[in-house]
Amino acid sequence: MIATKAKTNLSAATVPSQRFWEIDMLRGVAIVMMVIFHLLWDFWAFQIVPNLVLYAGFWKYFQRTTAISFLLLVGVSLTVSYRRSVQKNGKRGSQGLWKKFLWRGVRIFAVGMGFTLFGMLSGFGYVHIGILHLIGLAIILSYPLLEYRWVNLALWVLFVIVGGIVRSIPMTDNWLVWLGLHRPDYYPLDYFPIFPWLGVVLLGIFLGNTFYGPEGRIILLPDLSDALLVRGLRFLGRHSLVIYVIHQPLMIAILFALGLAHMG
């Protein structure tokens, strides 16, 4: 009786042409966490709370959890998008999907380069390969792997191992920062090199292929998509890139308007 009712509630939510509310909701949670961390960073940067420690203890792991959540959801979303296209158009009809993924990756990478340029011109700091750069690259580089499950899990382990190795290699320059190799005095604002962070996206692809199949979800979930809190988080999740782009300038402007932040 319970299983039958759950299946009825899930039927509309598992139609492959629709979005999965839980993915948007989790991305919305990650957005909220990101905004909280960046607001705290603004408090520290503008000396509103000068003794705030963000890169050790609780807030360090809060930031890492936020980033990992984003990257896992990138991998999950890529598998869902790929599978829907294949199911709708067939393997041959989905050959043009590569171009779609390519341009999506290029656009997100270009937005990341905008942050790189802003950091250079504003004097806030440098961002050579931040999370947007990585996501853009991941969308492009992971395309040939979207059909696979265990391969991506194995690659995640490999990326973690290689990431640990490259961190221990002493460097005298920063030419290979995109791989994770840099000088000891390298302190960027945002840093997500290919090793090990691309591996997190590959882990997300493994999870996507584990929990979502051609007909939708593999596991049953109650339909919470219309709950007020979930609806709000889903909205944030669907507009995550726009929020990522505008939230810092908006928060900084508010801090200046309130007289809490000052130049210099």
Peptide bond into 196 cis (omega under 30): yes
> What are the tokens at 4?
């039958």
Query: In which band, very low, low, confident or very high, does the pLDDT at 213 lie, cut at 50, 70 and 90?
Result: confident
Average per-residue pLDDT in the chain? 89
pLDDT at 95: 64
Instruction: Round to whole Å and give the CA distance between 122 and 107.
Output: 22
In this predicted model, what pLDDT tens digit does every residue of 84-105 receive, in sequence order? 888 777 665 556 788 889 999 9
